[in-house]
Chain A
Amino acid sequence: MLTVVTLPAPASVVDQVRREIERNALRARNGIRLATGTVGPGVGLTPKDVVWRSGRAQLWHYRSEGPRVSPPLLIVFSLVSRSYALDLSPGNSFVERLLDAGFDVYLLDWGVPDERDAANEFTDYVDDYIPAAIRRVQQVSGAETINLLGYCFGGVLTLLHAAHHPDSPLRSLTVMATPVDFTAIGPHARVAGGERELDAVLDDNGNIPASIILQGFRSLRPTAEVTRYVDLWEKLWNDDYVAAYQAMAGWATDHVPFPGALARQSLRMLLHDNAMMTDRLVVGGDRVHLADITVPFLTVLAARDHIVPEPASAPLIDLVGSQDKHELRLDAGHIGLVVGKTAAKTTVPTVLEFLQRFSEVHA
């Protein structure tokens, strides 16, 4: 019996060897750069001004050459990670895209909580910080209303704000990767345990340390850390990939502590009572109902989100009382909603389109 073996053409083999040699040289160069930290990723580079601050929180106003869209957009970021994810790097920045589309963009950054934030509860964020930031946006921009956008836990805060303050001057509310059904949140809920376990992991400041939060996220996909390094080795020759890796990997391990009292309240209300689903939300001593949200509403959820799984955020659309409400499901991961190709091609244009419906576009 004859077996036919196809051998690669000699020229092709030479090309492959040459390519591998070149790539290995580039790998060595980029590897040395990474190991020595001589090239740091530029993150959060879009020019901005601090227009308000309270405690560790700051309100940033991104500079633009005369916004063409009004009212302004206020973004509320999560409390467990750094907000520069939304302005990761030039060309891969959610904020940059919003500015290019003519929006007047503000971002409420929570800073790094310390012992002065350990006693913070939902009411501090929902009834104090967010309303104060909205007032400041109104003062700076001269607008009567604003579009509000919350990301991840920032989405939870904006939902609670909109529900607790139906008179808040909101033109629309957009939330992204925001959990409401905490029975579907995954392993976090099982490991969290009770208040005794929570108190045991608090640091000397009375907050959940950033390292515990990072370990929690890492445990969701135990092999992801190794795969990340394998991906890096494979594409270490590619300067663009290495720059994006540095920015993204840096952000993914750059968490901030979570206020202890808020963690206790979240554990009781969101995890144990599943209060968003069971309509048992309490903020500042008042009962709060998501059905009281009546402003135009958009929820964006990611089908491959391993941090906030799709079933945890899917029920939201039915919980809010808005007549004009929309849901956008994307084939993306948690941060892929705002970073990378899916964000550039799908999320950002859809969010822009929604916001533009509730905005005036000036020439």
Chain B
Amino acid sequence: MSDTPGWRQVYDAAEHRVAPPLESFVHSDGLAAAARLGVRVHSELRSQAGGLAARVWHFANLPAGTDISRLRAQIGALDREVRRLNRRLEQQSAAAAVAPERGC
């Protein structure tokens, strides 16, 4: 006799029937296209709303969210450059420390 409870057997049977068509639907090209369209529409609406909000804030001579985002991106890029330079320096220091030991 199986240890699996009856309610579980019912669920498993239902899941086996439902899962394949549901997966096919979720993974279909049609839904992927709809998702991409949804993302574009959402992005466009966000951009329009952001532009409108930015005009209001700029009218009051204040920075808008988009200005802050741009500033954060610039700081982020600068931080990356500094990190890369640091690692290059570390690399060169390590190479310089090894070179005399090898008698080069």
Residues of A within 8 A of B (CB): 54-55, 114-120, 124, 128-129, 131-132, 135, 186-187, 190-191, 193, 196-197, 199-201, 204-206, 219, 221-223, 226-227, 230, 234
B75 engages A223 (CB within 8 Å) = no
The answer to the question of B39 belonging to the interface, with a C-beta cut-off of 8 Å to chain A, is yes
Docked-complex contact B29 and A230, CB < 8 angstroms: no
Question: Are A200 and B39 closer than 8 Å at their CB atoms?
Answer: yes
**Among candidates B8, B15, B18, B76, residue contacting A117 with C-beta atoms closer than 8 Å:** B76
Instruction: Please encode chain B, from 34 to 73, with 1 for each CB lying within 8 Å of some chain A CB and 0 for all others.
Output: 0110011011000000000000000000000100010011
Known: A115-B73, A204-B72, A219-B26. A191 touches B80 (CB 8 A): no
**Chain A facing B: main interface SS:** helix
| Total A-B pairs, Cβ < 8 A | 92
* Cα–Cα distance between A230 and B11 once the two chains are bound (Å): 8
Query: B94 at the A/B interface (Cβ < 8 Å)?
Result: yes
Query: Are A118 and B91 also in contact (CB < 8 A) when A55-B83, A221-B23, A234-B8 are?
Result: no
- Tell me the minimal C-beta distance from A222 to chain B in angstroms: 5
Which residues of the other chain, A, contact B83 by a CB distance below 8 angstroms? 54-55, 116, 124, 128
Q: Determine if B79 and A116 form an interchain contact, defined as CB atoms under 8 angstroms apart.
A: yes
Given A115-B72, A116-B79, A120-B80, check contact A222 B22 (CB 8 Å).
Answer: yes
- Chain B: minimal CB distance from A169 (Å): 12
Q: Is the pair B8, A191 in contact by a Cβ cutoff of 8 Å?
A: no
A-chain residues with CB within 8 Å of residue B27 when the two chains form the complex? 186-187, 190, 219
Would you call A222 and B72 a contact (CB within 8 A)? no
8 sampled A-B residue pairs with Cβ under 8 A: A116-B79, A118-B73, A119-B73, A119-B77, A132-B87, A187-B27, A190-B32, A206-B73
Q: Which residue of B lies closest to A8 (CB)?
A: B1
Contacts of A132 in B (CB 8 A): 87, 90-91
Q: Which 5 A-B pairs give the minimum distances between C-beta atoms?
A: A200-B43, A116-B79, A115-B76, A187-B27, A190-B32
Main DSSP-derived SS at the B contact region: helix
CB neighbours (8 Å) of B8 from chain A are 230, 234
B23 and A222 contact, CB distance less than 8 A: yes
A234 touches B73 (CB 8 A): no
With the chains together, A132 CA to B88 CA distance in Å? Answer: 9
With contacts A132-B90, A200-B40, A230-B11 taken as known, whether A222 is within 8 angstroms of B19 at the C-beta atoms is yes
Decide if A196 touches B40 in the complex (CB within 8 Å): yes
**Pair B19/A223 contact, Cβ less than 8 Å:** yes
B4 to chain A, nearest CB (A): 8
A81–B23 Cα gap in the complex (Å)?
24
Cβ–Cβ < 8 Å partners of A222 in chain B: 19, 22-23, 26
Shortest beta-carbon distance, A69 to chain B, in Å? 25
> A132-B87, A132-B90, A206-B73 are contacts. A187–B32 as well, Cβ < 8 Å?
yes
Q: How far is the CB of B80 from chain A (nearest CB, A)?
A: 5
CB contacts (< 8 Å) of B15 on chain A: these are: 223, 226-227
Contacts of B19 in A (CB 8 A): 221-223
Closest B residue to A212 by CB, please name it. B39
- The docked-state distance in angstroms from the alpha carbon of A119 to that of B75 is 10
**B78 CB, nearest partner CB in chain A, Å:** 9
What 9 new A-B contacts, CB under 8 Å, besides A131-B91, A223-B23, A230-B8?
A118-B77, A119-B80, A197-B39, A200-B40, A200-B42, A201-B39, A206-B72, A222-B23, A230-B11
Whether the pair B75, A115 counts as a contact (CB closer than 8 A) is yes
User: In the complex, what residues of A have CB within 8 A of residue B91's CB?
Assistant: 131-132, 135
A116 and B75 contact, Cβ closer than 8 Å, known pairs A54-B86, A132-B90: yes
Q: Cβ of B39 and Cβ of A116 under 8 Å apart?
A: no
Determine if B100 is an interface residue (Cβ-Cβ < 8 Å): no
Q: Which residues of B contact A124 (CB under 8 A)?
A: 80, 83-84
- Bound-state Cα–Cα, A135 to B52, Å: 51
Question: In the bound complex, how far is the Cα of B18 from the Cα of A114, in angstroms?
Answer: 39
